Every structure is written in structure tokens, then in C-alpha cells.
Structure 1
Amino acid sequence: MHFTLYINPQTPGPEMDGAIMDAAVENAIRADQAGFRGIALTHHHFSNYNTYGNSFVFGAYLASQIKRAWLLMQVAVAPLMHPLELVENANLLDQLWRGRFIMGIGSGGSPLEFEGMGRDPALRGNLTEEVMAVANRAWEHKPGDPPLEYRTQHSSGVMRGRIMPGPYREGRPLMARASLSDHGWADAGRRGQPLFFGRSPVERVTQAMKVYDASLAEAGWSKEQVEFCKDWTTMQKTVLIADDDDTARQLIEEPLSNLHRLGQAAFAAYGAEQQKAVTGISSDDPAAFRKSFVEGATIIGSPETFIENLKRYEDAGVRHVALHINFGFMRPEITRRTLDLFIDKVMPRFS
């Protein structure tokens, strides 16, 4: 089994942003040295849900400091971006990471982020298709081709030159599909792309892997491509490891409460129904939020409990797990303890 460090630290406010980003860099370097396969960045704006905001710039900053791990974009929210800027940013990271870069594409959905960028979240599916159609044409555009004319609902123009830089890999950077639906899982298999998903209990993960594996097989991809896709198909889990189960359950209460308040603040202007449409649950019900998050999104406990739970996902066909260890304004010493226990006690059992 492979492991990625999923860097998505929330922030209580601007006075803590710098320290939280410093800790994120420190954790990324520690994970790389310990043999993690990847470092994953997320793509959020305005809501305090992601401290560094611009994941492409943050990824460029990490490039010279991470020696072996790959960079995963989990995920780029395509409808919030200009299509040519998306291509330019992806190519730059592909160059800086020397091809050790996989960009997942997702449609997002947070109304706070969409409103801030002047987008309608109800149209996110169509907007994603529009942006990616132009992006794909830009990757296919060669020097000497006629000018690239394009138009989406939020951008238009004529590109007479070329995208700079070109990608490190031939054609375009490696791409992945982010989805929580059967349709998305099957689509990733048809495209021969790794699948990024998370916040699912083991029963749902088992279903995802069956759909995805069947789609890969039906599409007729080579054995090498299938193995690559399955190695980089990544399930994301929020994790907390402590010396014993009782301590872990106690320590997660504070960050869970902080996450609940953060969700309430992010959706305050949009209502509980809008939050439920995006996240599947309303933060108006703290008990339901906690139950849904703990059961679907987390693995918590002692190293022994963590190993036992992780093996259930391994048995379901999961080869790669992205670990979200810094969440809900978590105290740095708790994050460090989780990472240390994982490296020392858990990783050796799966290497």
C-alpha cells in the first residue's frame, strides 16, 4: 500500500496563516523523507478551509524541497479557473516536479467559493466541461497551428502564440478524475485515469473499486496502464493516531467542533439546504455531522486500531491512501504525534 500526505490545514484567521503554512511544509518534508509516495494539495478559496489558497503557487514552492514524492492536485476545481491559466499552471508544476505530478479535476460546489469567483455552483458540471474542452484544445495546440479561438461562459479570447512552459511529459501532465459517484468512477476507468475519492465508508469504497476496475478492464487498457491507475487511485481519509483509542477519541473532539463551526460559517449566507446539497449533511445538526464525518471520513485510534481499519480498505482493493492529519485548527503537537506514530508503527506493516 502507498501513502500520500494530504495537506489541507484549516486556519482560524490571518494571524495564524504563516505558522500553519510553515508546519505544512515541515510535515511534507518529513513525509517525503519517510518514504511517502505523494504530497497532495487542495484547491479552496475564501472560507478558511485551506490556508495556502493558491495550490499551484504552493506546489511550486514545495518542488525544490521534496526529493522523491510526487505532487497530487486533489483537486483543481476547473469551473473556478480560466482554461488557459489552468493549462499554464499545470504545465509549470509538471516541469518543476519533473513529471512527478498528477492533476485531478473536480467540479467543486462550495457556494461561497463560486460566488467569490463570480460563478453559479448550480452550473458547475457544465462549467467544468467548458473549461476542460478549451484546456484540452490548448494542450493539443502546436506551434504553427492556426490561432486558438475559444469561448466559455466566463472567458473568451484568441491565443496566437503557445502555452508557456510546455509540459514536462509529452502532450500534457498526467490527469486524474475526482468523483464520489458511480458514473464518475466508471468515467475514470474509461479514460484510463487514476481515481481520487474520499469521505466514504468501506462498503462504498468496495463498490467504487468494483465499478472502477470493471471500467478499466472493459476499456481494454494495457496491463501497465491499469497498474499505474490502480497504484495512484487514492482514497482520502482524515486521521488521528494516539497512543491508545481513548486518547484518540478525546483528542478529535476539539478539531471536530472546529470543523463544525467552520462549516456553519461557510454556509451561513446560503442556508442548511444548500450545505446539504453540497456536502450531504447540514451542520444545523451537530450530532448528525459528527456521526457522518467520523464514520465516513476518518480513521482514528491507536496504531493497532488504525492498522486494523486500514486493512479493511486494503481488502476492498485500495492500494493508496491520502492521509489528512492536520484539520480543525489542530494543535501542532497532535499533528506531529499522528505523523510520528504512523511512520514508526503503521507504515512498516504495509511496506
Structure 2
Amino acid sequence: MRFSVFLNGRTMSADADKQLIVDLEQHALLAGKLGFDAIFLPDHHFNGYMPVASDSYMFASYLAAKLPDMHFGFSVTSVPLHHPVRFVERINILDHLTKGKLLVGIGSGTTPEEMIGFGVNYKDAGRIAEENLQAAEALWAKKVEDEPIELHGFHKGKVLQRIAPGPYGRKHARLMPVAMKESSITRAAVNGWPAFIPAFTPPQIGGTDPISHVKKYFASYHDQLLAAGHSDDTVADALSWTTHSYQAVHLAETDEQAHEEMLRILTSYQEAIDREAAFNAKAESDDANKKTDRTGHALTEEWMATWCLYGSPKTVIGKLRAYQEVGIGNILCGTTTGPVTEERMAYANQTLRLLAEHVFPAFK
């Protein structure tokens, strides 16, 4: 089982952005020193909502120069907000900079406030994401001598030659769909790509039995992956990166200490969420941007059961055994969840060290 770090820290004011960037860089370097397999970055915009995520490709390229052996991933790129040409170009460049160690999570986005900032209506996001992904595949395949590719969807353009640079390997970097919709499961399986395996089924986002949802989505993805006729190496690679995500991971010496500290982390996190919700309410003032699902309060049993992993190393090992038995290859650990303060970073670094010293040996 692999372990990856999710740099999902927030700020609550502009004057905190500078220190957050420094802190997340140092946290990533510590993860590299301790033997984590990958650094994943989100793709979010505005309102202090994960400041480095406003251009996570740029931040990943900076970290890649300092961590040449590290894999890098995105959880997940909001595809409707990226012009297909820029999407393909940036992936190809980062594919070279990481020497093929790139995993590009893809999705249609979750936040109306972010959508309207880029002129996208929330109700159109799924359609635009599909348009963009089809255009991206055509752009990746285009040779100089081929006919021009014209984009006629939400994003427009005409490409006469080819995308430069070309991919690092024989094919373009691995994309990672979220294995919730049947079309996304099929896209991952047919291409031999890893997938994110959800722990809930909309419209309910959260619950006290996340493993049942993980088993359901993993089984559908796994069956299609095996049926696609890939080589054993392709299947093994895809499964080794197939990911279960935790928004908040926190370890301490005892279960009692971990629980107490997790409640402190989630109290600050919920304060940030409440502030962001006020702006989203303004974005949802028309029907084109209404959300159809809602995420529950972070301090409820349902939210914590779905999105959190916490406890002593022994307890965390026990919880992760169930996911190992399902076949999950990669655990994505949100170690910087919530507003990043000095105390929050101390908790985050404590978690990295306890994972590396006590949990890794049980799974590697």
C-alpha cells in the first residue's frame, strides 16, 4: 500500500498566504525525507480556499525540482475551468519535469463560486468537462501533418501544428477519474489508469459506513479494468495507485490525544467552511448555479467517519487493514486540513512522522 500527502491547507486572510506557501513547501520536503510516495495538490480558487491550489501545476513543478524521486498528483483538476490546449500543454511539461511520475485527477468541479469566476455555470460543468477531455485526447494524438483541430465547445480555438512538448512517454500522463459515474469508471478502466474510489454515494455526502461504498465502486472499476485486456504490468500499476482519500488524517501517541487534537483541527476547518459557504450562497443565487448536494458539518459522526482517519498508530493500522483487503493501493492523507497555523503545522508534521515510523512498516 502506498501513502501520499494531500496539501489541502487553507488561509483565513491574505496576510497568511505567504507563510502558508513556506509551510506547505517544508511539509512536502519532510514527506519526501520520510518516504511518502506522492504529493497531491488540489485545484481551487478564491476566498483563501487552498491558496497554492490556484495554480497547483506551478507549485507542483517547483516541488518537483526539489523532490526528483517523488510522484505528483492532482486531487482533482476541475476540468471545465481549463482551456484544453493549456490543460494538455501543462500536463506534458510537468510529465517531463517529473520524468513520467504524474497522476492527473480529473473531475467536473464542486463549487459554484469557483465556476462563475471562470464564466462557467455549475449546471454545465459536467458537459464542459466531457467536451474538454475529448478535445484533450484529440490534441494529444495530433501530429504536425494532421488536419487542424478546431474547438467548438465552451472553449474555442484552432490548432494547426501540434502540442509542444509532446508527452514524456509513449502515451500522455495518466489521468485519474473519480470512479463514481459509470462513464468515469469506464474511462479509467479502458485506458488502464488508476481511479479515485469514493466513500459515499450522492446525494448523501458522508455516513458511518464508508467501506461499503468503497467496496461497491472499487468492484465496478476492478471488474472493468480486468476485462479491458491490459497487460499484467498495466493492471498492477493502475491498482497500485487506485486511491482512497481522507480529507483529514491525524495521528498521536494515544487515541485520546488524537481525538482531542482532531476536534481542534475540525473546529477551525468548519469555521473556514462556514465562511466559504456564505460566498457560495451568493454564487447560487440563480438556478444555473444551484448545487444538488450538501456536505454535512465536519464535527458530526457521519462526516468524521467518511472523511477522517485518526488515532494512535495501532488504531490507524487496524482501520486501514479493511481498505488493504478491498484492494486499495494508495491512501491519500489530508495532513494540513483547515487553516494553517503554527499549531496546525506541528500537528501535520507529527502525523507524517508517526505514519512513517509506525504505519508504513505494517503495509510496505
Q: Describe the SS at the equivalent of 2:9.
A: coil
Question: Amino acid of the residue matched to residue 115 of structure 1?
Answer: I
> Quick one: distance in 2 between partners of 1:28 and 1:174?
22
Q: Describe the SS at the equivalent of 1:256.
A: helix
Residue 23 of structure 2 aligns with which residue? 23
Question: Amino acid of the residue matched to residue 208 of structure 1?
Answer: Y
2:320 is equivalent to residue 310 of structure 1? yes
Question: Is the CA contact 1:3–1:323 (under 8 Å) kept in the aligned structure 2?
Answer: yes
> Quick one: distance in 2 between partners of 1:67 and 1:321?
21
Deviation of residue 184 (structure 1)?
3.3
> Quick one: distance in 2 between partners of 1:210 and 1:197?
10
> Quick one: distance in 2 between partners of 1:119 and 1:295?
33
Residue 208 of structure 1 aligns with which residue? 217
Counterpart mapping for 1:226-241 below 5 A: 226-237=235-246, 238-241=248-251
> Quick one: distance in 2 between partners of 1:89 and 1:278?
32
> Quick one: distance in 2 between partners of 1:147 and 1:189?
30
Question: Is the CA contact 1:198–1:297 (under 8 Å) kept in the aligned structure 2?
Answer: no
Deviation of residue 187 (structure 1)?
4.2
Residue 206 of structure 2 aligns with which residue? none
Q: Deviations over 1:177-233 (max 9, x none)?
A: 124345533542233211024555112111122111111122222222111110111
88-97 or 219-228, which deviates more: 219-228
> Quick one: distance in 2 between partners of 1:96 and 1:90?
10
Cα distance change on mapping 1:183 and 1:293 into 2, 3 Å = farther
Identity %: 28
Deviation of residue 164 (structure 1)?
2.2
Aligned length: 346
Deviation of residue 96 (structure 1)?
0.8
Question: Is the CA contact 1:8–1:324 (under 8 Å) kept in the aligned structure 2?
Answer: yes
Residue 147 of structure 1 aligns with which residue? 148
Deviation of residue 49 (structure 1)?
2.4
Cα distance change on mapping 1:325 and 1:176 into 2, 3 Å = same
Residue 62 of structure 2 aligns with which residue? 61
Q: Describe the SS at the equivalent of 2:196.
A: strand
Return the TM-score normalized by structure 2. 0.89
Deviation of residue 235 (structure 1)?
1.0
Residue 86 of structure 1 aligns with which residue? 87
Cα distance change on mapping 1:43 and 1:270 into 2, 3 Å = closer
Residue 228 of structure 2 aligns with which residue? 219
Residue 138 of structure 2 aligns with which residue? 137
Question: Is the CA contact 2:199–2:211 (under 8 Å) kept in the aligned structure 1?
Answer: no
> Quick one: distance in 1 between partners of 2:338 and 2:120?
27
Cα distance change on mapping 1:14 and 1:271 into 2, 3 Å = closer
> Quick one: distance in 2 between partners of 1:192 and 1:74?
18
Cα distance change on mapping 1:18 and 1:130 into 2, 3 Å = same
> Quick one: distance in 2 between partners of 1:265 and 1:219?
45
Residue 41 of structure 2 aligns with which residue? 41
Residue 343 of structure 1 aligns with which residue? 356
4-13 or 119-128, which deviates more: 4-13
Residue 159 of structure 1 aligns with which residue? 159
Give the CA RMSD over aligned residues. Answer: 2.2
258-267 or 19-28, which deviates more: 258-267
> Quick one: distance in 2 between partners of 1:26 and 1:336?
10
> Quick one: distance in 1 between partners of 2:323 and 2:61?
32
Residue 321 of structure 1 aligns with which residue? 331
230-239 or 198-207, which deviates more: 198-207
Residue 203 of structure 2 aligns with which residue? none
Q: Describe the SS at the equivalent of 1:258.
A: helix
92-101 or 201-210, which deviates more: 201-210
Deviation of residue 152 (structure 1)?
1.3
> Quick one: distance in 1 between partners of 2:281 and 2:15?
28
Residue 184 of structure 2 aligns with which residue? 184
> Quick one: distance in 1 between partners of 2:190 and 2:68?
32
Question: Amino acid of the residue matched to residue 116 of structure 1?
Answer: G
Question: Amino acid of the residue matched to residue 170 of structure 1?
Answer: R
> Quick one: distance in 1 between partners of 2:227 and 2:360?
34
Cα distance change on mapping 1:39 and 1:138 into 2, 3 Å = same
> Quick one: distance in 2 between partners of 1:5 and 1:225?
24
Question: Is the CA contact 2:197–2:218 (under 8 Å) kept in the aligned structure 1?
Answer: no
Cα distance change on mapping 1:16 and 1:197 into 2, 3 Å = farther
Question: Is the CA contact 2:29–2:67 (under 8 Å) kept in the aligned structure 1?
Answer: yes
190-199 or 72-81, which deviates more: 190-199
Cα distance change on mapping 1:77 and 1:113 into 2, 3 Å = same
Question: Amino acid of the residue matched to residue 152 of structure 1?
Answer: G
Question: Is the CA contact 1:9–1:329 (under 8 Å) kept in the aligned structure 2?
Answer: yes
> Quick one: distance in 2 between partners of 1:16 and 1:167?
37
Question: Amino acid of the residue matched to residue 332 of structure 1?
Answer: M
Cα distance change on mapping 1:247 and 1:327 into 2, 3 Å = same
Question: Is the CA contact 1:186–1:211 (under 8 Å) kept in the aligned structure 2?
Answer: no
| Residue segments in structure 2 that go unaligned for 5+ positions in a row | 201-209
Question: Is the CA contact 2:259–2:311 (under 8 Å) kept in the aligned structure 1?
Answer: yes
Return the TM-score normalized by structure 1. 0.92
Deviation of residue 167 (structure 1)?
1.7
Question: Is the CA contact 2:95–2:168 (under 8 Å) kept in the aligned structure 1?
Answer: yes
Residue 98 of structure 1 aligns with which residue? 99
Question: Amino acid of the residue matched to residue 229 of structure 1?
Answer: A
Residue 204 of structure 2 aligns with which residue? none
